[in-house]
Amino acid sequence: DQQVKQNSPSLSVQEGRISILNCDYTNSMFDYFLWYKKYPAEGPTFLISISSIKDKNEDGRFTVFLNKSAKHLSLHIVPSQPGDSAVYFCAASGSTTSGTYKYIFGTGTRLKVLA
């Protein structure tokens, strides 16, 4: 049961253009969402997060949008740069019955920014 889905395994974008990465979730109890970037042979690095009380969070070239009614979030990167080429993971978090939090990750989208 894949609770967090990234339906596009890969995406290619020209340098300078906008990259839009999408993520869907099924569990309405999720209340915190994050995006991580991962280069080969490295661990994921945190990019940006958003709480369910917001619908947008912006940090430099990165903006995350949350549509709770559609259970959908997206990451916008503008302008895209070749160094942005990596695998991007969406993660969702919600309180468990024991009051703890854990992340459920999507399967990732491989972004390639073409120079």
Partner 1 sequence: NAGVMQNPRHLVRRRGQEARLRCSPMKGHSHVYWYRQLPEEGLKFMVYLQKENIIDESGMPKERFSAEFPKEGPSILRIQQVVRGDSAAYFCASSPTGQPNEQFFGPGTRLTVL
Closer by beta carbon to partner 1, 33 or else 84: 33
Identify residues 62-91 at the interface with partner 1 (CB under 8 A): 89
CA distance 7 to 58: 23
Distances (CA, A) of 21 to 16, 72, 82: 16, 11, 16
Among 60, 69, 70, 100, binds partner 1 (CB under 8 A): 100
CA distance 55 to 14: 27
* Residue 101 interacting with partner 1 (CB under 8 A): yes
Tokens at 112, concatenated: 């390639």
Among 10, 27, 45, 81, binds partner 1 (CB under 8 A): 45
Tokens at 55, concatenated: 């619908």
* Residue 41 interacting with partner 1 (CB under 8 A): yes
* Interface residues toward partner 1, by CB under 8 A: 4, 6, 31-32, 34, 36, 41-46, 49, 89, 93, 96, 98, 100-108
